[in-house]
Each structure stands twice: as structure tokens, then as C-alpha cells.
Structure 1
């Protein structure tokens, strides 16, 4: 048994040909999709990068494993504490690669810089061989493919291996070499991206909104800065030419990555193992390319960020099948376990969809809850035609507390219809509470890491950015938005001196209570 797992960072399925995109971004991926099963409603449970991959590899929702953010206490998994044995649960088969190694009998290899990028070293648990491509997630395919090709040449003909390869080209900033050209320069933009839509987006605020495509970690600001190292990546979108540059930059990243996947497939074909090879193509998260008015970022718990591609070509299983039911990415673990003929680990949260691959059976979930606590703090419910989004911290995007989108009528999330669909919102809140209660019981503790993020000052990518951002909004003629942000986030400013009445009250209390 041989398995190739391709983790394509920041890949929105809406920009892949096999998912209906009008541009030819993914011919090699499309070929694999035609030979296997393509899932159309497949979601990461926790976004973005570190929470998603931790949930996948641990088999547990972020609310249970503890890692839901990119910093602070919630940037690490919960300690096992008194339950920990000589070997922790990840070593004892709880982690996906550990399970494949110990139960499945596979030799496991990782080609990725991800654990070092986010200091998520638990991700390594169960890999026999680890190759860090060394650029902390700033890799291009040119850095990754030679490492993968070398491994294929040395190992492909061996039996029983699992190779995990991580590409980053669709991730901002867009890094495709200029000499590659632009295969899409004569292709139209997606039909829904009109001048009217862009004008509305230019009034929106927050990181990776149309006028601030850059998060400057050094100056703690959202701005329109650009880098000569990334000439394909704009700093702001003020007109349709800028919009084209942004969309073309993203699509070129996907196509450039797809070309390199073709090199891997050709090498595997040359080694004589392609015919019987299991290929899994997916992503850690999607990417907002205009959804919610956000560009080139995975910053929300919505359709753009949390919906991911999933393509499984498993020889002997269904071919050319499209499954439209709801699934989590962590459902992959019990699915693979079942197909290997073994029981899943009892503390995994996933549900097997092996019957889909074997028989084309209908076995999806009734609803999903997806979370984001790194750029904003949100939990959302995906059910029926709906995406309900509940914001606890808006990441300075001025999101409403409740947002509701009819994905059948509005797949790009441009019109919040919560106000006219209160009954649907109430159903979503019921489902959210039902899920939350179940997860807290399964956790065995009283710690919801979402509230840990809030207690520690909010999402990492917004913490400390508000004062500088308000100044930028004022300087760029957006005083009303600045005033509204200041009103919504009063606690994120230094406390004002106590008023005279407060001082008097404290004095009287001290006189009555005496010294302590």
C-alpha cells in the first residue's frame, strides 16, 4: 500500500477546474479528480493553518485539543496532565501518522516546513522521516519539488509508505516567478466580481480588505505596503486592474503548483507505482478571494476560508464520483482506518465516510460547526443552504454579531440576510449550542479555548493593531469607520484616568473599610 497526501496550502476549491472554475488552473489535479471521488462540501473544522492541521493530525476539534489560535495559550495543545502516560496519546496512535505507522504498518514521511513555522512540533508525532524545506512557509514549488522527486526516486518502489507533501504557492504573498508569465491574462475575471462589488468592498475595513492587503507584523499595522520580492502581490485594490492583478496572482500560484504536481505524477509513473497509488489532494483551509470583502487571506469562519478541496483516488474504489454531503477534514482519519480494516481511535471526533468511496453511499453529516480564532473569533454553522456566522471578536472588520448567508443564492457571501431570517438564525444557534455541549462533555474539562483567546486580548492577528489602524483610517478619509471601530472596541485602549466621582467613591469606601 502506497499513499501520497498532498496538502496544498490556501487552496480555494472554487479556483480549481474540477470544481467548475472557468480558468484552466489545475489540469493535473483535475485528472486525478476524474479518476477518484471529489467532495464538494468538505470543511476544515478549525481555521486557519495551525488549528486546521492540528485538528486533522490529532483527530480532534480545536475545542478539545486546545489549539485554536496562532499565539497565546490557545497557540498550543492542551496538556494531557495527570492522564499522560510514559508516551502521550499522539505517540500511542492518537495522531494520524502514528496510527498509520503503528496500526497500518506504513513508513511515514513528511516534507513540510509547517511545524517550525508555527512551533507546532506535535505535528511531527508518528513520522519516521521528516524533511523541513526550510523557508518557514515562504517556499515556492521550486523548493519543494526537488526534495519530493529525490524521495520518490529513492523510495517509490518500496512497499507500504505514506508521503505527505506540503505546497505553499497559493498562499499570500503570491510568489510565482515572473518569468513564468501569466496564463490567465486574457481570461475574464469571475462574473460576480463587478465594479459595483469592488466599490462596496472599498468601503470595508480590516486586514486584507481591499485597501489594506498587508499585515505588517513589525509596525503592528494593516497597510497597503508592497514588496519588490513579490511583484505579483498588490498592496491594495482600488480599481479593476488591481483586482485583476490580485486574482491573476492567486490563480498563477495554483497553476504553478499544479505544474509541479504534474512532475511528481510523472516521476511516480516512471517508477511504475502510479497505477496502484492512493492519492489524497486537499488543503489546510481555503482562501477568501472577495468573500466577505476579504482578499488573499484565510481570516474567518466562513465558506471562503473553511471550505476546502478533497479529492481521493483510491484504486479499487469509486471513480468519477462527486459527493455533495457535508464532511469535516478530520473525518478522514476514521475513514482511512475503516478502509485499512481497523477500528478508529476512540478519542477521535471524526465519522467515517468509507461507504462513499466503496459504494457511493450517502453518509454525510447533518450540519457542521467551524471555528476561527487567529484573525477573528468566530464560530459558524453550515447546514442546508446556510452559513451562519457568529462573531465574538470581529478582527476590526466591523462584522455584525450575527451573519447569515444563503450559499445557494449567494455563494460568495455578499449579502447578510440574518435580519430577515430570524428563525433560521435561531435554528443555527440551537445547533451551535448542541455541538458545544457535546464537545465540552467529551473534553472532560471546563476550558473552551475560544474564551481563552478572548480573555487574553483577542485574536493574535488583531492584538495591538487597533490604535495604528484607526490612525490610518483617519489619514485615508475613513473617519466614520474609525469611529465605529473605536465604539465597538473600547476595551482595547489604555484606561482613562478615574473621574472625580470615581475618586470620591474610592475615598469614601477606604474611609469606611479602613486599611487592609
Structure 2
């Protein structure tokens, strides 16, 4: 069986015509939707980028145990299981976080990998003297990216086009193999929203203010004209990425691969572009723009093309789906899976596979939806206690735990603390944990996530009108409590959330 997974980063599904958007050009993803089963109620799990990837590659939610981090030594990953059963896997990616401290062991799970340089703050172009921020520049300015972007002289030089070209070269060499997984992962449309001006002109952008291509995380802090400009830059970047996705599909056309190849398109999470007066992700509640993500699955031979699945699904379901598609026994997984195969839904054998989706960021709100309501549960305590981070790999984005970012290393314990594995892990007190790019530790609640929030997303999908309905909230609390148990939550989470 041949399978291609296409993962685009930070896709706000409300910009896709398949999910009701208008005025945004994504003809190739539209074409894929016509040949695919489209999932309309699909949710992320652990947020943001690397936690979501660990979920997809292991079939388990990780955010209840730890934050952004590597593949753990006790994780059983999808590429590992495929390799153990003689099935080859390859990843083409420009997601540079795989090669930073805190992103260890992901690409190395695949038989082969190709890493495309230059995205965001990837330390690619080497120059001792870096540029200063231009006068009047809006948003983030990263000197390393200012160097990298000088190498993007034409469209083909940008990282995502080069990533798709890498995948095409791989198909040129391997399309006639009988079994493989090709994981194609383009960083775009993740910020910075940088691309040739011709694409922005397609969206009739009349912005004439200072340079602005990289939003800052948090509340909107730019004039309305700049906000409109950044939304158009995002749409244009999505259009450019779609164009190169089309070249991948043309390669499949050339080799008649649609007949014997499964194609999965999805994202790790969405992105805020002014909704609720927020930009980006991480600091605000996990609104639908962030957690409700696209999923399309093309079955070989266009079988079930045009079908829409409206029942709840989640990113952790991809792992058992792919195992089953490759004919492997899901029950032989060493780790207890949280995900469930989507194939019975696609074939119409069952009407649902889960009664809720559980999602969130480590140390922040824990969120649950039953498809009708969403409920965001904030910490019960002002200091966000108690919470511990569990890991056998004490790294996170850009740094190690135990040195300059741990105040009291003597408080770190080690032992078989997790419910689902006997592998010894570090237990790091949450009030010792600080991300390199954050001034606050996890025991401090962000001002934006200190309230429980309840929404009826069938009647108020935009989540503009929080509900105060005791009976419904209690029902969602019980659903949350059950979900925590099913997902092997550490006991501290129950106390932290006031669910003891």
C-alpha cells in the first residue's frame, strides 16, 4: 500500500473553500476534496507544533504529561512500526523545529529524510554581523530570518516549494514501489508570511504602511489596515503553497498513483488572524480557529469520493488509521493508543468512534468538545498548582531542563510515575518549568485563560457568546473527567482543574 501524508502547518480551515470560505484560491486542495472523504468535525489534540506531531506519530495525547518536546524513548512511533514490518517511510520537510534542541528523534524515526533549510529562525545563512530592524517595522523582526530571506530570489527558492520539489523527486525515484509512506510537510502557511509580491497582488492588497509580514503572538496590536494586510498575506501564502501542492498531484497524475495510493491532508493546528482580537496562537484560549482543523482522506481509486463525515475525529486517529490501511494489527502496539481508526467511519460500518475530543496546551486550559458544546476548563488555583512535567528527555524548544531554566534542580524526581509505561521519567515541578521564550513559568496563569468558558458551537460557532448554564456545564465537566481518565492523565491534573 502506498500512502502520502501532506501536512501543512497552521492552516486555519476557515480559509479553505471546502469548509465554506470564499474569495481564497486553493484549487488543488479543492481538487483533492472532490476525490476524498472530507471530515468536518476533526480536532487537534496537543498544541502547538511539536506536541501535535508527537500525537500524530504515536496515536496518544501528550499535553497532559508534558509540553513541547522530543519523541520519548518509550514512544512507539508510526514509522518505527512500519519499519518493523518491512514498510519504508520517508519525510521531506522544512520544519526546522525537528532539528532544534527539544525536537529530537522525529525525523530519525523515518528510514530516510530530507531537510530543507531557511524557515523562520533556522540558523541557515551564517553571518556574524546581522541586520538591524528597519525603522517603522511592524510585528516580529528576527535577524536570522532577515538573512535567510535574502536567499529567496524567486518563488522556487522559498522553503515550501523546495520541500514539495523534494517530495516530487522522491516519487520520481520510488513511485513504482509497492509499499511506502511518504510524509510531506511544508512549514507554510506558518508565519512569517513571506512570499513573492505577485501573490499578494492577486488579493488586491492596497496596504502602503511599514513592513509587516510576521504577527506577534497576543492581542491585535496593529492598525486595522495592517490587520487586513496580514490576513491577505496569509491567504496569499496559502495560495502559493496550494500551487506547489498541485505540482505534487500532477506527479501522481503522471504515474497514475491515484488508483493505488491513499492521500491524507491535514494540519497540526490553526491560526488566529484577528478573531476575538487575537493574533497567532498559544497565549489565548484554544478557540475553534486554532483547534478545529481540516482533514481530507483520499482512498485508492477515488473510493468514497465526495463523502463527508460529520462525527467527531481527532489527530491521534491518524496513527491507527494508517496501521490498518497497511494491514498491520493495531492491537500489537506496545503503547496503549488513544486514537481509533477512521476506516470504519469511511466505510460506513459505524456512525461514530468517540464521544468527545480532548485538546489543549500543557499547563493551560484543558478543553473538551462533544461536537455541540465546547468547554474550556481553567486552573482551579490562581498559581496553577499542582502540575508536574513528566519526561525521559529533559529538553524543550531551544534549551535543556536542569540548568539555567530550572530554579531548584534538587526538586526533580525520577521514577516510573506515568500510568501507561514503566519507563522511568523525570518528574519536574511545574513551578520550575519555564520556556526559553517566556518570562512566566507554568504555575502562572495567562490573563487570557483564567476563566472557565462554555459555548454552544452549533448555534455560536464563532464563540462570541459564553454560556452560563449550570446543567450543561456539569455535563461537560463529567465528560472532561471521563476523558482525562481515558487519556491516562496524571493525578495532578484533576486537582489542578478542581475535579478531585
Same fold at TM > 0.5: yes
2:199 touches 2:239 (CA, 8 Å); kept in 1? no
Give the Å deviation of 1:315: 1.4
Alignment match, 1:390: 377
Q: CA deviation at 1:279?
A: 0.7
Whether 1:368 aligns to 2:357 is yes
Give the structure with the higher percent helix: 1
Q: Paired residues, what number?
A: 386
CA contact (8 A) 2:2 2:178 kept: yes
Summarize the alignment of residues 384-463 of structure 1 with structure 2, pairs less than 5 Å apart: 384-392=371-379, 396-417=446-467, 420-440=468-488
Q: What do residues 80-110 of structure 1 show as CA deviations (whole Å, max 9, x unaligned)? A: xxxxxxxx544xxx2011122223x321001
Q: Distance in 2 between matches of 1:77 and 1:449?
A: 25
* Segment of structure 1 superposing worse, 294-303 or 22-31: 294-303
Task: Return the match for 2:244 from 260, 283, 303.
Answer: 260
- Which residue number in structure 2 is paired with residue 322 of structure 1? 308
1:27-426 matches, within 5 Å, as 27-63=27-63, 66-67=65-66, 69-70=67-68, 75-76=69-70, 89-90=74-75, 94-103=76-85, 105-112=86-93, 113=95, 114-117=97-100, 119-135=102-118, 140-185=159-204, 231-233=212-214, 238-297=222-281, 299=283, 300-316=285-301, 317-344=303-330, 345=333, 347-359=336-348, 361-373=350-362, 377-392=364-379, 396-417=446-467, 420-426=468-474
Question: How far apart, in 1, do the equivalents of 2:199 and 2:242 lie?
Answer: 13
Offset from partner CA, 1:195-216 (integer Å, 9 cap, x none): xxxxxxxxxxxxxxxxxxxxxx
User: Equivalents in 1 of 2:445, 2:185: separation in Å?
Assistant: 28
Cα pair distance change 1:364/1:43, threshold 3 Å: same
Q: What is the CA-CA distance between 1:177 and the residue it aligns to?
A: 2.1
Query: Take 1:286 and 1:95, find their aligned partners in 2: how far apart are those partners?
Result: 24
Counterparts in 2 of 1:137 and 1:58: CA distance versus 1, 3 Å: farther
Structure 2 CA distance for partners of 1:137 and 1:267, relative to 1, 3 Å? farther
- Residue 90 of structure 2 contacts residue 183 of structure 2 at CA under 8 Å; is this kept in 1? yes
How far apart are the structure 1 equivalents of 2:369 and 2:481?
14
Shift of 1:298: 5.0
SS of 1:181's equivalent in the other structure is helix
For residue 54 of structure 1, report the CA deviation from its aligned partner: 0.8
CA contact (8 A) 1:101 1:107 kept: yes
Query: What do residues 236-263 of structure 1 show as CA deviations (whole Å, max 9, x unaligned)?
Result: 5555422321211111111111001011
Cα distance change, pair 410–289 in 1 and its aligned pair in 2 (3 A) = farther
Write the distance in 2 (CA, Å) between the matches of 1:21 and 1:253: 16
Kindly state the Cα deviation for residue 32 of structure 1 after the two structures are TM-superposed. Answer: 0.9
Contact 2:92/2:183 (8 A) holds in 1: yes
Structure 1 position 318, deviation (Å)? 1.3
Tell me how far apart the structure 2 counterparts of residues 143 and 341 of structure 1 sit (CA, whole Å): 32
Gaps of at least 5 residues in structure 2 are 122-157, 385-443
Q: Distance in 2 between matches of 1:438 and 1:356?
A: 21
For residue 21 of structure 2, what is the aligned residue in structure 1?
Answer: 21
Structure 1 residues without counterparts, runs of 5 or longer: 79-87, 188-225, 452-516
Offset, 1:234 = 5.7
Q: Distance in 1 between matches of 2:9 and 2:210?
A: 21
Q: In the aligned structure 1, how far is the partner of 2:113 from the partner of 2:493?
A: 32
Cα deviation for residue 63 of structure 1 reads 4.8
Say if 2:38 and 2:295, in contact at 8 Å, map to a contact too.
yes
Which secondary structure does the structure 2 equivalent of 1:172 belong to? coil
Q: What is the alpha-carbon distance in structure 1 between the residues aligned to residue 232 and residue 43 of structure 2?
A: 25
Evaluate the alpha carbon distance shift between residue 427 and residue 124 of structure 1 in structure 2; reply closer, same or farther with a 3 A threshold.
same
* Mean Cα deviation higher: 279-288 or 170-179: 170-179
Q: Could you tell me the TM-score, scaled by structure 2's length? A: 0.70
Q: Is the 8 A contact 1:50 1:118 kept in 2?
A: no
Which residue matches 1:476? none
Match of 1:210 in 2: none
- Shift of residue 325 of structure 1? 0.6
| Structure 1 residues 99-151: Cα deviation after superposition (integer angstroms, max 9, x where no partner) | 22223x32100112341146322323531001111235566423322322222
CA RMSD of aligned residues (A): 2.9
